[in-house]
Structure 1
């Protein structure tokens, strides 16, 4: 049986596939865009995934630069965290993905 060969892709394209290929992450970005800056409680009420799963996805999105937190990680000390979409970064990533697919 032939094995799956994964083509080498630029890192930004790999990241876009990882993000855009995940329904939960796309929904989280969409809801945050619609709601505006939100605490995890407000966001959890708007999405249909478990709280631990939401936390994992938000961490991934924050590390990718698509979501910003206030206060930043490491400075929270019991404070409520507010999550915000970084629209410019979302546009940049989707444009790089689209350009790659179109052979540009």
Structure 2
């Protein structure tokens, strides 16, 4: 099976581009930085997207360590019926941002 084309020296850019190079993910992170401890509804409303679009992205960002939730996600424990609030893991987002800057020669 052919591999996706990838320029030499771009290995360090994969994670930053995957997480920050997506407009929905970037919008979620931008919103949560300005409005920590938000639930899915206000995030979706602010981005003018459906909650069903936002929730899977929040799960991906949480799995990547860029977003934290309260109550936290735990393997095998459903969180149905519980108001889940989200906030950015600012240290992880800043690290990813700096890694992207290094990968494109900005820093």
Normalised-by-shorter TM-score class: 0.7 to 0.9
Aligned partner of 1:100 among 91, 100, 103: 103
Structure 1, residues 38-93: CA drift from partner, whole Å, max 9, x if none?
Answer: 11122222112121110111111111111001111135352210101111110001
TM-score (structure 2 length as normaliser) = 0.81
Q: Distance in 2 between matches of 1:81 and 1:101?
A: 36
2:50 maps to 1:46: no
* Structure 2 portions without partners, runs of 5+: none
Q: What is the Cα-based RMSD across aligned positions, in Å?
A: 2.2
Shift of 1:34: 1.1
- Map of 1:17 onto structure 2: 17
Count of residue pairs the alignment pairs up: 101
Q: Partner of 2:86: helix, strand, or coil?
A: strand
Q: Which runs of 5+ in 1 are unaligned?
A: none
Question: Moved runs in structure 1, 4+ residues, more than 4 A?
Answer: none
